[in-house]
Amino acid sequence: MTSNDMPQDDQRQTTVEAGAGAAQDSAPAGQGGESASVDPVAEALALLTAERDELKDRTLRTLAEMENLRRRTEREVADARAYAVTNFARDVLNVADNIRRALDSVPDDAKSTADGALKGLIDGIELTERDLAKTLERHGVKIVEPQGQKFDPNRHQAMFEVPNAEVPAGTVVQVVQAGYVIGDRVLRPALVGVAKGGPKAAASPADAA
């Protein structure tokens, strides 16, 4: 029997079955290919984005390190300028001390009645002391004058205590040797005598803090 002799219904069923079989054979291959495919543009974009973020992070870290280095260098340069003469200034203080001792060795009544060469000598020594103090001050070295102030262990060195009920305890009542600072640092603490026996000194706002 030829295909032309087959009934029309049987021929239609055979065609449907053949199409279903072909669909089943092609379906797994189509599904597998779709799941395995990757968009190359999206993958490249993701890699470039990650690389960009990494480079941005490195750049920000480098800039922060450079800024810290710049600030640290500026501080070091400023300190070098301000404190470069520290050792020299400390040695010069010995000269200032000797000048002061020379003046203190002359009694007050002798200074007031001095005339002629002696008066010229005393005036010359006092002028030298003033000029030396101005020279030191131009280089950032200043004298500490603690007389009558509250004792400050950061700037003063107590040598002895003086019984004195008229001033608050802890007040500097005698300066044995002047102190000096350079910038905001102590070059040499002042040697002082401190009062005791008086009323307790009121706390300053800085002490309370």
| Structural domain count of the chain | 1
| CATH code at position 145 | 2.30.22.10
pLDDT > 90? residue 67:
yes
Ranges 42-46, 58-62, 111-115, most confident: 58-62
For 126-130, the CB contacts below 8 A with 24+ separation are 128/99, 129/96, 129/99, 129/100, 129/103
Let me know: does 194 contact 171? Beta carbons within 8 Å.
yes
User: Is residue 5 assigned to a domain?
Assistant: no
Residue 179: strand pairing partners: 144
Q: Which domain holds residue 191?
A: 140-200
pTM: 0.60
pLDDT band at 146 (very low <50, low <70, confident <90, very high): very high
What are the b/e assignments for 82-92, b being 16+ CB within 10 Å? Answer: ebebbeebeeb
Tens digit of each residue's pLDDT (9 = 90 or more) over 82-115: 788 898 999 999 999 999 999 988 888 888 888 8
Q: Do residues 129 and 100 touch, judged by C-beta distance below 8 A?
A: yes
Q: What's the pLDDT at 203?
A: 60
Residue 149 within a domain: yes
> Is residue 184 in some structural domain?
yes
| Per-chain mean pLDDT for the chain | 82
Spell out the SS3 assignment of 109-128: HHHHHCCHHHHHHHHHHHHH
The helix/strand/coil state of 17 is helix
Residue 48 belongs to some domain of the structure: no
The answer for residues whose C-beta is within 8 angstroms of residue 161's C-beta and 6 or more apart is 193, 194, 195, 196
pLDDT for 151: 94
- Residue-wise pLDDT tens digits, 154-199: 999 999 999 988 889 999 999 999 999 998 899 999 999 999 877 7
Confidence (pLDDT) at 58:
93
Residue whose C-alpha is closest to residue 175's, from 153, 194, 155, 198: 194
Q: Please report which confidence band the pLDDT of residue 16 belongs to, taking 50, 70 and 90 as the band edges.
A: very low
Q: Which amino acid is at 26?
A: S
- The residue behind tokens 């779709």 is 34
**187 lies in a domain?**
yes
Residue 33 banded pLDDT, cuts 50, 70, 90: very low
Q: Buried b / exposed e across 49-71, counting CB within 10 Å, b at 16+?
A: eeeeeeeeeeeeeeeeeeeeeee
**Has residue 154 been placed in a domain?**
yes
